[in-house]
Structure 1
Amino acid sequence: MHVLPFDGVRPNPELAPREKEVLIAWFRTDSKDGVARQLHIAPTTVRTHLQRVRAKYAAVGRPATTKAALVARAIQDGLVDVNDL
């Protein structure tokens, strides 16, 4: 098996604007229910958006199965600054 060396470029998933909005709101809130209230959407919708975000990261080979991992990915990808959290 031939493995290519890492060239320093991380593939970024293409997140929809609403997925980014829900993701960042979740980082700043204690719960998914809190995000739902803040954004005036159903809690199941929040969960669906977060599941899609996780699936998109996994699809580009950068799985993020925890909230901490998603925060790290978002910071790496410039979606959020650590000072904004």
Structure 2
Amino acid sequence: MLREWLLCDSKNEAARRLFIAPSTLSTHIARIRDKYEYCGRSASTKASLLCRALQDGLIDIEDL
């Protein structure tokens, strides 16, 4: 879900591609942010989540 959201312009577009409600996607993104915050690696913006995903190998720059 994170990868799809990072590749889309909006949560609505990502949710549509994933066949889920935008609120479900928002819940998942919030949980991912909470996990990063718990580890002391804040990711409060889409850009910071992108950086974390790249750092952690969850996505590759070629995916973008």
TM range (shorter): over 0.9
Render the CA deviation track for 1:52-72: whole Å, top value 9, x for unaligned: 000000000001000000000
Which structure 1 residue ranges, 5 or more long, are not aligned? 1-21
Question: Which fold has the larger relative contact order, with Cα–Cα distance below 8 Å and residues 6 or more apart in sequence?
Answer: 1
| TM-score scaled by length of structure 1 | 0.74
- Matched with 2:57 is 78
Render the CA deviation track for 1:8-47: whole Å, top value 9, x for unaligned: xxxxxxxxxxxxxx10001110100011110100000010
CA radius of gyration, larger in: 1
Moved over 6 A (4+): none
Higher helix share: 2
Query: Map of 1:1-85 to 2, 5 A cutoff?
Result: 22-85=1-64
- 1:83 CA displacement: 1.4
Residue-pair matches, total: 64
| TM-score scaled by length of structure 2 | 0.97
Which structure 2 residue ranges, 5 or more long, are not aligned? none
Tell me, what secondary structure is at the counterpart of 2:50? helix
* Percent identical: 53
**2:41 aligned partner, one-letter code:** R
